[in-house]
Amino acid sequence: MHSTQRSFLVLATCFLQAALSAQEVKVTRDLGTWWSASVETSLAPRWKFQAEHQLRTYGNALELDDAIVDAGVKHKVSKQVRLSGALRFTHNARRRLDSENKYRYNVDAHWIQPVGERVSLRYRLRHEQEYTNLFELLGQTLDVESKFRHRVKAFYEAGETHRPYASVEVHRLTKMFRTPSFSQLRMHLGDTWNAGNKQWDVSIGYTRELRVPHPLNFVFLFTRCNFEL
């Protein structure tokens, strides 16, 4: 083979590798939507049951990311303290790899503190544990991750029905063969209001990955309609 042919093959191989690598560049900015409908009903004094279905999109809101179903209970301990817990199933379509199913439980502690007549602060500590393909991989090593999520939320009583709010949340992730670290930042700016037996919650959300070389910055429209029975 002539030297010119070898040079051409080397250049062609380098070009092909560069093109393939360019196709795998991680998206760092994206837009999406989170749509949710839930039903809530009283079980007993200070106890409530809630079931929720949620769809999440990405890719400028054109592609399905997650389909979620969860159910749980809430308990009002006092005016300032509430406890809750839930089970969740998520079908994750995944952005770059094959789809997978996730199974999760979470336990929450809520603390509410009024600040003046119209403002209240809420702190939520959530512990959650999630198993990937739990039933599909029985008997094999499971992909398990655990998180502690800290969220602070400020509400403003704008009138009889509307309650605009802002929130910030950080996730601390623990995973096998990985040092525990803060993995995600999430913020919301929105409003909740009542309409008959329904409560609407609409906000603009923002999430950012932490401690990764090329973090994803994701902005999404969050819409939830909760029916009280």
Instruction: Indicate whether 183 belongs to any domain.
Output: yes
pLDDT digits (tens, 9 = 90+) for 147-157: 999 999 999 99
| Domains: count for the chain | 1
Which residue, chain included where needed, has tokens 């403002």? 119
Mode of pairing for the β-strands spanning 63-76 and 47-58:
antiparallel
**Could you tell me the residue range of the domain that residue 204 belongs to?**
29-228
Is 10 part of a structural domain of the chain? no
pLDDT-derived band at 15, boundaries 50, 70, 90:
very low
Is residue 13, in this structure, part of any structural domain at all?
no
167 C-beta neighbours (distance < 10 Å), count: 18
Query: Is 51 part of any domain?
Result: yes
What does pLDDT average to over the chain? 88
- The answer to whether residue 114 sits within a structural domain is yes
Residue 140: count other Cβ atoms within 10 Å of its Cβ.
8
CATH of the domain at 145: 2.40.128.140
Angle at 30 between CA 108 and CA 166, to 5 degrees: 40
According to the model, what pLDDT value does residue 135 have?
A: 77
Could you tell me the pLDDT band of residue 96, with boundaries at 50, 70 and 90? low
Specify burial of residue 172 (Cβ count, 10 A radius: 0-12, 13-18, 19+).
middle
Note whether residue 14 is domain-resident: no
Q: What is the pLDDT of residue 4?
A: 53
In the structure, what pLDDT confidence band is assigned to residue 21 with cuts at 50, 70 and 90?
very low
**What is the pLDDT, as a whole number, of residue 178?**
75
In a domain, 174, yes or no: yes
Record the tokens describing residue 69, joined without a space.
Answer: 């179903």
Would you say residue 21 lies in a domain? Answer: no
| 202 in Cβ contact with 189 (< 8 Å) | no
What is the pLDDT, as a whole number, of residue 22?
A: 40
Q: Alpha-carbon distance 101 to 124, whole Å? A: 26
What Rg value do the Cα atoms of the chain yield, rounded?
A: 22
